[in-house]
Amino acid sequence: YVKMVHNGIEYGDIQLICESYFVMREVLGMDNAEIQATFTEWNKGDLDSYLIEITRDIFGKKDEDGKYVVDKILDTAGQKGTGKWTAISALDLGMPLTLIGEAVFARCLSAQKAQRVAASKVLKGPKTAPFAGDKKETLEALRQALFASKIVSYAQGFVLIKAASDTYEWEIDYGRVSLMWRGGCIIRSKFLNNIRDAFAKKPALENLLLDDFFMDKIHAAQAGWRKVVGLCVMRGIPLPCMSSALSYYDGYRTARLPANLLQAQRDYFGAHQYERVDKPRGDFFHTNWTGRGGSTASTTYKV
């Protein structure tokens, strides 16, 4: 199970790097040599990892004709299924594994190559001018967006492992999991040391976002994160994982979400009942919204 979640996080890491590359190419107009130099620099700091390292190498590889190999590769992603299994398990356990789910769907969308080519000829996006902002500043914002999104990906992954461990009584040591992933795994990185430290300080930590180290890093990165996501939305550049990570972060830090309306709708059309803010948790109520439904209510259940 832990290996499956590792692979799901790998899906997320890879997609986040691909989105960063897409911003460099489509927004900033960078060539492969510039992109390689950027990943080389990024690999010296917080983003130091195997996947950033091989991405750096990929952007330096040329074919026999002197042209870059990466530019000759068809943009349709394959998958073996472990990302999908991770997302399915998250749904079964009721865990919001949003980033990894989007990484799986991004591969599915990439596989619809013929449809995308046809759609690109008829579906219009926003009219944009060439980027005229500060390139260096935007690259730093992109680095922050990648790092913050990566934090969310791992936070969601460990939330899923914890849910499975609690449900199936596995008693998993989360700090040891992070150490195991350092040894020869695709997602091995400097980052995993900080995860080990977080669980060493608080073994029952509910979410990595609540650890002081990761909290400080996200607070420092969020301005750049929001800038990049906003910039790409306005320019019609898809960032499924970065944007879903930001939405998860904003949702997780929001004390009152609009699910009260959702519960009212469910109770209106299906008498599914709801809890009240002025009553103890676990007490359920039904409203006769139309005056014709009477007091009949559905049973409650949890997923």
User: Is 10 one of the annotated active-site residues of the chain?
Assistant: yes
Residue 128, helix vs strand vs coil: coil
In the set 3, 62, 201, 202, the catalytic residue is 3
Residues in the chain: 303
In the set 10, 19, 150, 162, the catalytic residue is 10
CA distance 108 to 243: 18
Residue 131: φ, ψ to 5°: -60, 130
Closest CA to 54 of 86, 84, 10: 10
Q: Which residues contact 271 (CB under 8 A, 6 or more apart)?
A: 286, 293, 296, 297, 298
The residue with tokens 């008693």 is 171
User: Is 3 one of the annotated active-site residues of the chain?
Assistant: yes
CB distance 21 to 54 below 8 Å? no
Containing H/E element for 252?
helix 240-252
CB distance 24 to 125 below 8 Å? no
The residue with tokens 């046809």 is 118
CB distance 232 to 23 below 8 Å? yes
CA distance 89 to 85: 6
Number of helices (H), then strands (E), in the chain: 12, 0
Catalytically annotated residues? 3, 10
